[in-house]
């Protein structure tokens, strides 16, 4: 026996609204990361000159700057510490994974930086999808 469910226009609107909230939150986090990177980057040059001369150190500093910006924004938006920590881990993970081939001279410093930034975006998306109900309905 097969049952069919009809999708009402109200259900479609609510679903579309959830998708827009989810996408909007993702975009907000990316913007917060860029703000963190731009705002905190110069502090490293002032506070610890030469600390980012090596690609591995520069990658971790960059990940830290972006994570601080994103975490602050998530806290302002009243996300739980669990969500903030999960998202922070997702942001560091690509860089940490790429450090091994970098240290083995299998990839360049440029590949470490580029790969970490590129892989960070799907890692963040994966973290959001694991908790999609929280991100679809969070206000």
* Residue 70 within a domain: yes
pLDDT computed for residue 88 by the predictor: 96
Model confidence band, residue 12 (pLDDT cutoffs 50, 70, 90):
low
User: Mean pLDDT across the stretch 1-10?
Assistant: 59
CA distance 35 to 37: 5
* Residue 121 within a domain: yes
Number of domains in the chain: 1
pLDDT computed for residue 95 by the predictor: 96
69 has a pLDDT exceeding 70: yes
Q: Give the chain's mean pLDDT.
A: 88
* Residue 104 within a domain: yes
CA distance 52 to 34: 18
pLDDT computed for residue 11 by the predictor: 60
Asked if residue 83 lies in contact with residue 137, where contact means CB atoms within 8 angstroms, the answer is: no
pLDDT computed for residue 3 by the predictor: 55
* Residue 73 within a domain: yes
Burial environment of residue 71 by CB neighbours within 10 A (0 to 12, 13 to 18, 19 or more)? buried
* Residue 4 within a domain: no
User: Mean pLDDT across the stretch 43-67?
Assistant: 90
User: Mean pLDDT across the stretch 51-78?
Assistant: 94
SS (H, E, C) the chain: CCCCCCCCHHHHHHHHHHHHHHHHHHHHHHHHHHHHHHHHHHHHHHHCCCCCCCHHHHHHHHHHHHHHHHHHHHHHCCCCHHHHHHHHHHHHHHHHHHHHHHHCCCCCHHHHHHHHHHHHHHHHHHHHHHCHHHHHHCC
How do residues 97-136 score in pLDDT, each as one tens digit? Answer: 999 999 999 999 999 999 999 999 999 999 999 988 777 7
Structural domain range at position 104: 9-137
33 has a pLDDT exceeding 70: yes
65 has a pLDDT exceeding 90: yes
* Residue 3 within a domain: no
* Residue % of the chain over a pLDDT of 70: 87
């Amino acid at each position: 026996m097969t049952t069919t469910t009809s999708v009402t226009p109200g259900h479609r609107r609510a679903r579309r609204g959830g998708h827009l909230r989810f996408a909007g939150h993702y975009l907000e986090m990316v913007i917060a990361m860029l703000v963190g990177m731009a705002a905190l980057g110069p502090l490293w040059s002032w506070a610890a000159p030469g600390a980012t001369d090596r690609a591995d150190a520069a990658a971790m500093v960059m990940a830290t700057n972006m994570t601080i910006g994103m975490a602050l924004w998530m806290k302002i938006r009243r996300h739980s510490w669990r969500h903030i920590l999960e998202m922070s881990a997702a942001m560091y993970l690509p860089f940490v994974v790429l450090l091994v081939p970098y240290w083995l001279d299998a990839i360049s410093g440029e590949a470490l930086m580029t790969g970490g930034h590129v892989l960070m975006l799907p890692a963040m998306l994966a973290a959001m999808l694991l908790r999609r109900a929280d991100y679809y309905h969070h206000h």
